[in-house]
Chains A and B, each alone.
Chain A
């Protein structure tokens, strides 16, 4: 603070000395009020940390409960995000639209259509299966005699197997792509096997909803835990609160350290939660890798991403502060000198 004041008074090209001095005085009175205000807050901030440290066991229990309560939804959300990433891969790889062409369409026209469809933004790739290729495939699968002589002529239409891009693989997008393909004059019909995809999405949505409901309940639990801890602290500091009120402390002054204590519980609880989620994911990563290897897949369990981690921390701080605020508002009024 001192160097700053000196910097102001010793500014090289200061105008008149007197107005400068007046301005400095004004500035100091304003900034010193701000400084006092800030220093009150900083004192309460560190003071409340000191108090938490002085009751390590009780504080640890509260922090651990907050950490576990937040780690549960944190873990589920991370696993869910992993699942969504994996199934998004499936959708991209496994969703295909079978476009059956009109029987009178020549192979050349079909090839031209293939090229056209490949230029569509929502299309990843198009594979053209001519009636001849289709029949050959048919024959290979079923084996046996020459089916063509049996049937007289090739009954199979040309087929374009269209694979949408990964971004277009969501069920409703695929559906609209199918519509668009169906409207083409060359196309007889379009088949999408969407049912499994829709079911998968419905299950995922259900799980996600469930996780958020669980998160809401656990957030409520954190509010109550912090509230209860702060309430006990308030009771144990009854005498001190009364003395402060007798000495003319405002409600805001008395309240401040307890609100900050709640925020500290939140911060530490959030850190514990992030650590627990990371530990759980680490514990699961090996079995997941083994399972993936059995399926010849290269699926790797993703770590807690920093957005989720920051969200956990922020949520924890908000809940800690909020829990303290709710309790302090109710209980502090009841503690008055008598």
Chain B
């Protein structure tokens, strides 16, 4: 089966990482979180997703992470049409992503090292490779000295850096971050952003949902603004 997918009326080229074509999401109860959304994000791009709370940022990320399914339209990520993803294929698909959460979602009873190692253990890497990669990821986020700590012993900024290390340790092509700086002060937020920029510089596609408009105003990246489940005018395809 070809991994290239025909969208409505056009051919998706492999240079596109995320392609939304007329995507709507209707929740049970009638709330329409996304309405006819179409846009594309190129491979290697770094894009911010903003909008007031309830505008549909989280829903959009959930569609990409295949936590939710689109009610209509087509979501293609990394040449995979998510509507055709079988339940058994979901784990393997998610391993191609790195996800970062506002509340970090670290496992409290595991050390920093073990938390970061999780994606590699899940992926079946061998022990030596795990040790090497986890330390490399810890080094990148500047926490090499804290591998034996437990999450509760770390500050919020440090916990989020552990979260980021866990998201990149298996070298995903796409990083998704949902309000990664939501619980952090401005200095820490800038620090976290510069981490994302560093990953983007080495070719990782990054999509960050944030309502912190002040933080991203000074940064030279494309911004998608959601308003009541639609993109604000003038923002659409990447090309």
Contact = CB atoms under 8 A, between A and B. Distances in A.
Given A36-B124, A36-B126, A239-B105, A246 B118 contact: no
Contacts of B65: 246, 337
A86 interface: no
B121 A43 contact: yes
B95 A248 contact: yes
Contact of A249 (B122, B126, B127): B122
Interface in A205-248: 239-240, 242-248
Interface string A262-301: 0000000000000000000000000000000000000000
Interface in B120-142: 121-127
28 contacts: A32-B126, A35-B126, A37-B124, A39-B126, A40-B121, A43-B121, A54-B109, A240-B107, A243-B105, A243-B107, A244-B118, A245-B94, A246-B65, A246-B67, A247-B95, A247-B99, A247-B118, A247-B119, A247-B122, A247-B166, A248-B92, A248-B93, A248-B94, A248-B97, A248-B122, A249-B91, A250-B88, A251-B91
Contacts of A37: 124
A3 B33 CA distance: 59
A111 to B, nearest CB: 84
Interface string B94-120: 110101000001010100000000110
Interface of A: 32, 35-37, 39-40, 43, 54, 239-240, 242-251, 253, 336-338
Nearest to A338: B67
B103 to A, nearest CB: 10
Contacts of A336: 67
Nearest to B105: A243
Interface in B174-208: none
Contacts of B95: 247-248
Interface of B: 65, 67, 88, 91-95, 97, 99, 105, 107, 109, 118-119, 121-127, 166
Contact of B94 (A40, A239, A246, A253): A246
A79 to B, nearest CB: 46
A248 B121 contact: no
Contact of A246 (B88, B105, B121, B125): B105
A91 B157 CA distance: 83
Given A245-B94, A247-B95, A247-B166, 10 more contacts: A32-B126, A36-B125, A239-B105, A242-B105, A244-B118, A246-B94, A248-B122, A251-B91, A253-B122, A338-B67
Contacts of A247: 94-95, 99, 118-119, 122, 166
B91 A248 contact: yes
Given A246-B94, A246-B105, A250-B91, A337 B67 contact: yes
Contacts of B166: 247
Contacts of A35: 126
Given A37-B124, A337-B67, A338-B67, A248 B107 contact: no
A71 B140 CA distance: 57
B161 to A, nearest CB: 17
Nearest to A240: B107
Nearest to A32: B126
Contact of A39 (B91, B119, B123, B127): B127
Nearest to B101: A246
Contacts of B121: 40, 43
A32 B105 CA distance: 31
Contacts of A245: 91, 94
Nearest to A37: B124
B122 A244 contact: yes
Contact of A40 (B93, B105, B119, B124): B124
B106 to A, nearest CB: 8
Contacts of B88: 250
**Max count, chain A CB within 10 A of own CB: residue among B95, B121, B166:** B121
Contacts of B67: 246, 336-338
A37 B125 CA distance: 10
A248 to B, nearest CB: 4
Contacts of A40: 121, 124
Nearest to B167: A247
B26 to A, nearest CB: 16
**Max count, chain B CB within 10 A of own CB: residue among A43, A243, A248, A338:** A248
Contacts of B122: 244, 247-250, 253
Contacts of A243: 105, 107, 118
A14 B130 CA distance: 33
A316 to B, nearest CB: 28
Nearest to B67: A337
* Nearest 8 Cβ contacts at the A-B interface: A248-B95, A248-B94, A250-B91, A248-B91, A249-B122, A337-B67, A36-B124, A247-B119
